[in-house]
Structure 1
């Protein structure tokens, strides 16, 4: 839930700031990129937080090698993608790369839901909700790229 709240709140705050006179933020796409950047900074950072890391490693499908390395790599890519979204010349490429990363990480979400793996002590999110969130995030990343 925190990623959706972060995405929504930061996007709306950026848009409001643009509406109030900050001309660079006076576009939905720019505000969306900022909101996505905040969300990916949050989700990328938790890959390294002690409270979340162990559970995230457990989310990796059992047939994939080096789950800890995969969690580290995806965390780094999310943070790098967040930075890329904030630079106008790299934002479209970063947004597409993040959409592809979300698609690549979806099997971990399926694995976590099917194996009922909690995250930081909270119950596992059901697969239907995870799927809807992933589709939403991918669609918004694509919109941010256009």
Structure 2
């Protein structure tokens, strides 16, 4: 029951994030590493990826599709981590200290938790509650 509730919450989180990437890309464009080509396209397609992953997590008909969505969202969280690091570095270098460590440190810690959570709620892993046989 907890897994199902967290699956719905995570799907809603990613659905909102996907919508935000498409509807208001400016904040996401501002944290993109400069070395990446076509930042507008990257932000748009990351929004699509979040929406597709959220949809896969919410569906009830195919456990395999749900697992594929979970793996996709976990990989997504890994792939966007460089943008989060870039945001951390750029923001902390501002004269006013930007959002500060109270914002960035929890965000950095949350990223691997999101990877695990996607895999757990999608039924890809049972860790840390795996039964020993």
Shorter chain as denominator, the TM-score bin is 0.7 to 0.9
**Residue 112 in 1 paired to residue 84 in 2?**
no
RMSD of Structure 2 on Structure 1 (CA): 1.7
Instruction: Return 5+ residue gaps in structure 2 as ranges.
Output: 93-97, 124-133
Work out which of the residue numbers 132, 140, 143 in structure 1 matches 2:109: 132
Q: Which residue of 2 aligns with 1:85?
A: 57
Q: Which residue of 2 aligns with 1:145?
A: 122
* Secondary structure of the corresponding residue to residue 61 of structure 1: coil
TM-score for both structures, normalised by structure 2? 0.77
TM-score for both structures, normalised by structure 1? 0.71
Check conservation: 2:19, 2:51, Cα contact below 8 A. Answer: yes
Q: Which residue of 2 aligns with 1:31?
A: 5
Check conservation: 1:84, 1:94, Cα contact below 8 A. Answer: yes
For these two proteins, the number of residue pairs brought into alignment is 113
Instruction: Return 5+ residue gaps in structure 1 as ranges.
Output: 1-26, 118-122
Check conservation: 1:112, 1:124, Cα contact below 8 A. Answer: no
